[in-house]
Amino acid sequence: MAPRTFHIAAIPADGVGHEVVDAGRTVLDALASDSGGEFALEWTEFDWGSDYYSRTGRMMPEDGLEQLQDFDALYFGAVGWPSVPDHTSLWGLRLAICQGFDQWANVRPVQFHPGVLSPLRKADQTDLDWVVVRENSEGEYSGLGGRNLSGRGPGNEVAVQSSLFTEKGCERIMRFAFDLARKRDHPKVTSVTKSNAQQHGMVLWDEVFERVAADYPDVDSDRCLVDAMAARFVLHPEDLSVVVASNLHADILSDLGSALAGSLGLASSANLNPERRTPSMFEPVHGSAPDIAGHGIANPIGAIGSAALMLSHLGLPAPAARVERALGAATAAGALPPDLGGTATTKQITATVLDHL
């Protein structure tokens, strides 16, 4: 039987995005050629990002989404470079894809790896495992607002940045979170807001959460304010399973989660269009890390983990599990990059993961 061929768009974009996407592709290609004909991958690489911007004045071409529309999945590196204002690069590429393709669910597992020292004061934290589900289409990143609203000139500027919460947007991300919780050992969803201080959108969020929770009597649920949740991540993460939060809150909490696991370089993520009308995008949580870009020492674990999420999404759970196991074996064997206190290069870690596939 001919292998199922998946067409993947690689968009390394900026900085360490190139190094870690390279690592992930190496692992995926090795898996595909060793899959006994189960699947094959065909890659198309796009050179979009901040260099492209300096040549063309855009982060990606005007018809960029059309060019991506027919791929089975997108594998993304990181966006942002000192030569381009951060909001220009982010909105011009990553958010343009997420919002353009309505990738409204961003899944960010918080995973602890054997052999990696965590700042949590536990002898062994590898039994901990929770996942942040981030609302990825509205909330605080709605883009609504404006500058110079006072009309009164320099020194008196007023700017407004609005959060948008819709009942439909809240409901779909919560149902997604509850459906995900049902598949986990610990079926529980914790909703995060700051609805004591933000009394419009976040109160709507709370109301929708209560309504959706009632439809899932088999799944535990609770609510927590975001400031308390930050403390809970550090002090009492044991009872977390699925944490659902708005765009901004989940962004911050998932960085905290990855730092607790040992480094920002560890965290993987999936930007999903759950209806599969458009391609979904898989990327490490970290940014382009200009301070270490080009040195060959970027931690590739988040990007390789994101490749595993992509395999699951493509209907290949067994190869995805192989990647996860190989990552765990590599860190347990001491293949650790500088951000985890080791000296291994990106290529050495990738080679160790290949050894353990």
Q: Site residues (CB under 6 A) for ligand ATP?
A: 16, 20, 78, 80, 264-265, 286-289, 291-292, 298-299, 339
Q: What is the DSSP letter of 38?
A: S
Least gap, CB of 355 to ligand ATP (angstroms): 21
Q: CA distances (Å), 319 to each of 21, 32, 177, 274, 315, in order?
A: 18, 9, 24, 21, 10
| Contact of residue 265 among ligand ATP, Mg ion, none (CB under 5-8 Å per partner type) | ligand ATP
Let me know if 29 is a catalytic residue: no
Q: CB burial class (10 A; 0-12, 13-18, 19+) of residue 283?
A: buried
Least gap, CB of 166 to ligand ATP (angstroms): 26
| Mode of pairing for the β-strands spanning 129-135 and 242-245 | parallel
Give the distance, in angstroms, between the CA of residue 188 and the centroid of all CA atoms in the same chain.
21
| Contact of residue 12 among Mg ion, ligand ATP, none (CB under 5-8 Å per partner type) | none
Task: Indicate the residue among 42 and 86 with the shorter CB distance to ligand ATP.
Answer: 86
| Contact of residue 289 among Mg ion, ligand ATP, none (CB under 5-8 Å per partner type) | ligand ATP
Q: 231: how many CB neighbours lie within 10 A of its CB? A: 10
Q: CA distances (Å), 6 to each of 11, 39, 114, 340, in order?
A: 16, 8, 31, 33
Let me know if 255 is a catalytic residue: yes
DSSP three-state, residue 11: strand
Q: Kindly list the residues in this chain that would bind Mg ion in the complex (CB under 5 A).
A: 287
Let me know if 194 is a catalytic residue: yes
| Contact of residue 192 among ligand ATP, Mg ion, none (CB under 5-8 Å per partner type) | none
User: Catalytic: which of 53, 75, 141, 216?
Assistant: 141
CB 345, CB 305: distance < 8 Å: no
Task: Indicate the residue among 202 and 270 with the shorter CB distance to ligand ATP.
Answer: 270
Let me know if 75 is a catalytic residue: no
Least gap, CB of 50 to ligand ATP (angstroms): 11
Copy the structure tokens of residue 172.
Answer: 């779909």
Please identify every residue annotated as catalytic. Answer: 141, 194, 227, 251, 255
